[in-house]
Structure 1
């Protein structure tokens, strides 16, 4: 049972074991015998034995607190003999004392043992019983941060990509930004690169349909990425297609595909082209410029677009630096990570990566493509990210780095710029989805990275951003879509009455 559930259990009892009524400032410590086993670097199996003296002390205190309000037939309230009160309320008081002993024991173990917990204790409350005689023994498992010597992080030698933005770079970015305001118009001709296709997708295995996605709008790019695989030659396959055409491709499912039975196997994808459409971009007139950001002139808008490009360059610089730093810091981090921790953390890593791209102003298509890439390589990328996180967290603690309210405000404002939502609405969405802790970790990790880079030596290199060649869609060709985590990090508009 998780600690918060245990707290709820204790809170429902009639009387909690507390400090003595005379107002002692500190409760008497329990006499615990604690044995800690280490199944792996990130796991602890803990056996706790509570002495009989402590059990009797808690029971005595509980019955003493109960006596003034105990109602026993034949006696006025609070006037029944203690022996009869014990007899009548033994079961209730035992449950109350059990909860109090467990909570106090867990708190004392957390204070006295030298490990940093990263999960709630896995404790089965129902399996624990107060014995009539002798000590109380219970066991629980908990995930912890591994113990390691902090690697040298000052004075690292890093490469840094640099770019000067030309007018044509701004033009390409404007076209990409305007795409979300454009209109898709039907096109009778053959599809060309950059056109939009309305498709019906059917995954087939052994002649049976295992997945279907209807009316999916896909931009024609060289590669089409799914949650569990990709078509590398999608442009070659679909270029020249018209409404009514049917295409076929083989998709090799990734090792982390939601459908476990088909992982690593080839699945046939049948594609029906329903429509071909071209994107009509809006005119950059005064009215439109005012609607999308209160810009007075096209020059103001272009200046804002250049700042977006600079943020994306900053993202690329941070990504390149982070990859180099992570590789150097985790070189000796050979800890075994439990599969349960990796599975749970893979969702968090996906959330962090998507949120980072949103605050850097990338398009939905680029974010989706990156999201699918992470899903397809989740086990490897998650293990590396988790080891990196443990090390960065240690540095943050030693350097007293923390998050301030203004840090949250800045991150949320940047995310709102990409999503088109107000900062207030973005914050509400993050809180509703339980992502504020992910945002906090992202801020802390960035602060540590900035500190590491401030102590590093850089060598600048020319950088040309790669052309966007991947179109990502939230569809699992192999099926079992119910097992796919929700598209994390996305700040989408909800119904007005939500």
Structure 2
């Protein structure tokens, strides 16, 4: 019964620092020493006075006395000395938890940390001494302190383009590719054809990775998670079934295989089959199937809207790059490697989410995703600095996110993926990405605010045709699974 009674009293013990009802809680007499290893790191040493320890212990035993069960005495009637002797260890553990919780809360309030991680505190290593004060240490990552740069009245260049019939035709061909049928081709491979290939990565003659029967489109560049074959078109053009090709791939500095980062590996490509794409006819049944379009003209109008949405993405991207460069020019803070490593996956997920809501195809998303992976460290550092500044602007301008913002973003993502908004939301929640989506919305709102105060100069923009084929394969191999951000194999719960 004693253990149960102590457990029941735990809530009372946690708030030992509070006074009587209606009174302000009594503050702890803390000695706090703060070291700053970097702009985003704080190493904090806290010393709790002996007087506070004794006060918490005394209060905890006073709460326990009426319900303490000691053999030989009626419940609540044992002398305090005996109760202290019997329950000293259990009460010490409770008081330790209360002191740590109250100390952390008071430090956070007094120092006004904008924490971006949980305190790195080893609870098991902390013990309440029999005599003298209690001292403990912890590390925490915080938003850096900085003077907000001037963000009103920036001069920006904005890409503009008027889409014509040729642009729409090209986009339709790309869109119809996922509905087309791959058929065997007689003759050698040409640009735009498809190759069924087996890929083997070799280091010092030893196989380190293999990917069988991968279907890739023959484009100028073949992009992997950890590197690229820049002249893939020149290498594979004219290839036939049974041909074997060889290329050298220099792995990126963020390749999954840490031992081979920055080193060249050999890529062997065996051509199993050459295929070409047979596109479907835009007849009445097909138009109705892919979007409920009544006429080809309706479909072309929808394609043009997609192109305009992608242009909007390019405008956002260009404006963001210029704004980020201007705002982060003086942001020379050192960012902790651990923070960068954790954030790199989140930044990749945010970027892919942005591409999805802008209507890009899966092939284009894979190519851009691989590029982001290969430059993850530098890109993450820049994105984090940008985020800290945009977050500060959002706070000062009272910008926030409401349910309508979430619904709108999820609807746009669902349009690209072909899944229902309900399923998209379930996937985001399952993978813990709603906070990433929130940051994306906030940052976009801040960017819109900055742009509303900026001065623009139009600059003609020519949409580029896809020249990179993206493959979710690491040539250098990997010790673990590559974080998946493109697809989520969740069972459809809608029934």
Aligned with residue 484 of structure 2, among 484, 487, 490: 487
Q: Does 1:277 find its partner at 2:275?
A: yes
- Normalised to the residue count of structure 2, the TM-score between the two structures is 0.95
1:16 corresponds to? 13
Map 1:303-452 → 2, pairs under 5 A: 303-452=301-450
Shift of 1:67: 1.8
Shift of 1:177: 1.4
Report if the CA contact (8 A) 2:188-2:239 is conserved. Answer: yes
Q: Does 1:80 find its partner at 2:81?
A: no
Question: Aligned equivalents of 1:326 and 1:110: distance in 2?
Answer: 30
Shift of 1:496: 4.2
Shift of 1:16: 3.5
Q: Structure 1 78/273 Cα, relative in aligned 2: closer, same or farther at 3 Å?
A: same
Deviation per CA, 1:216-254: give whole Å up to 9, x if none.
111111000011110001011111112221111110111
1:184 corresponds to? 182
1:151 corresponds to? 149
1:475 corresponds to? 473
Q: Structure 1 491/425 Cα, relative in aligned 2: closer, same or farther at 3 Å?
A: farther
Listed as ranges, the gaps of 5+ residues in structure 2 are: 1-6
Q: Does 1:52 find its partner at 2:39?
A: no
Map 1:31-46 → 2, pairs under 5 A: 31-46=29-44
Deviation per CA, 1:9-61: give whole Å up to 9, x if none.
x9995753226685235322212111111111111101111111111121122
Question: Aligned equivalents of 2:12 and 2:185: distance in 1?
Answer: 74
Report if the CA contact (8 A) 1:15-1:66 is conserved. Answer: no
Report if the CA contact (8 A) 2:423-2:493 is conserved. Answer: no
Question: Aligned equivalents of 1:25 and 1:388: distance in 2?
Answer: 43
- Normalised to the residue count of structure 1, the TM-score between the two structures is 0.94
Report if the CA contact (8 A) 1:52-1:136 is conserved. Answer: yes
Shift of 1:68: 2.2
Report if the CA contact (8 A) 2:399-2:445 is conserved. Answer: yes
SS of match in other structure, 1:482: coil
Map 1:153-302 → 2, pairs under 5 A: 153-302=151-300
Report if the CA contact (8 A) 2:9-2:63 is conserved. Answer: no
Shift of 1:494: 2.8
Shift of 1:325: 0.6
1:3 corresponds to? none
Cα RMSD over matched residues?
Answer: 1.8
Report if the CA contact (8 A) 2:427-2:490 is conserved. Answer: no
Deviation per CA, 1:142-195: give whole Å up to 9, x if none.
111111111110000000000001011111111111212222222242211111
1:7 corresponds to? none
Greater mean deviation of Cα atoms: 425-434 or 174-183: 174-183
Report if the CA contact (8 A) 1:188-1:242 is conserved. Answer: no
Report if the CA contact (8 A) 1:419-1:492 is conserved. Answer: no
Count of residues in Structure 1 that have an aligned counterpart in Structure 2:
487
Shift of 1:472: 0.7
Listed as ranges, the gaps of 5+ residues in structure 1 are: 1-9
Report if the CA contact (8 A) 2:19-2:26 is conserved. Answer: no
SS of match in other structure, 1:296: coil
Question: Aligned equivalents of 2:265 and 2:46: distance in 1?
Answer: 51
Structure 1 consecutive aligned stretches of length 4 or more whose deviation exceeds 6 Å: none
Greater mean deviation of Cα atoms: 298-307 or 140-149: 298-307
